[in-house]
Amino acid sequence: MPILIKICGLRTPEALDAALDAGADMVGFVFFPPSPRHLGYEAAKLLGERVNGRAKKVALSVDATDAEIGQVVAALKPDMLQLHGRETPERLATVRSRFGLPVMKAIPVEQRADLSPVRQYAQFADRILFDARAPRDATRPGGLGKTFDWRLLENLAIGVPFMLSGGLDAQNVAEAIAITRADGVDVSSGVERAAGDKDPDKIREFVQAARAADDKLAAQKRSA
């Protein structure tokens, strides 16, 4: 299967159009007030309608209540929920059942020990997203432009597809894909001019770089 490309933290029609026109498979919207990429419900409704089936809509929340997730679902009508906080495996199961939507769980990674809970989460998640662990004094769990040692994910088999996030950009995404063989890549700060301000050119460059890297891997597999 071709790699999935997700552009996250979209806030404006221009940025959304750039992601869709570039061929992103998933477009992500953040519902977390401390984030500079936070989206209000009315804006989410308008952007969600603008997607018009051209990509899967992903709603990112952080330790949200059922009521908060319900408001997000009503506004955006997402295809997937991304839980990016300290939600437990049991919480994933509850959210998945209550809202009838696939769930992607973000796992913060800094060292190998951080991978120990993955199999528990994989029992309930439709997809896992590995992101760089935020510094202790950070006010939000992701979108910080920080990478981690991708070799920790080499030859990883967890029973569900996984995406890679954390500090990716057009310059390093090929190396990240080659090392991890991730099923998907997720970018936010790596396609921005400033926090929350997406750059259409950087979005296009990232998608092109990820597609080229995936094509190269596929060609290598065919010739092996």
- Write out the catalytic residue numbers: 8, 131
Tokens of 118: 């993955």
In 3D space, the residue among 48, 57, 51, 64 whose CA is nearest the CA of residue 20 turns out to be: 51
In 3D space, the residue among 61, 7, 48, 1 whose CA is nearest the CA of residue 209 turns out to be: 7
Q: What is the DSSP string of 64-114?
A: --HHHHHHHHHHH--SEEEE-SS--HHHHHHHHHHHT--EEEEEEESSGGG
Q: What is the DSSP string of 25-71?
A: SEEEEEE-TTSTTB--HHHHHHHHHHHTTSSEEEEEESS--HHHHHH
d(CA 112, CA 109): 8
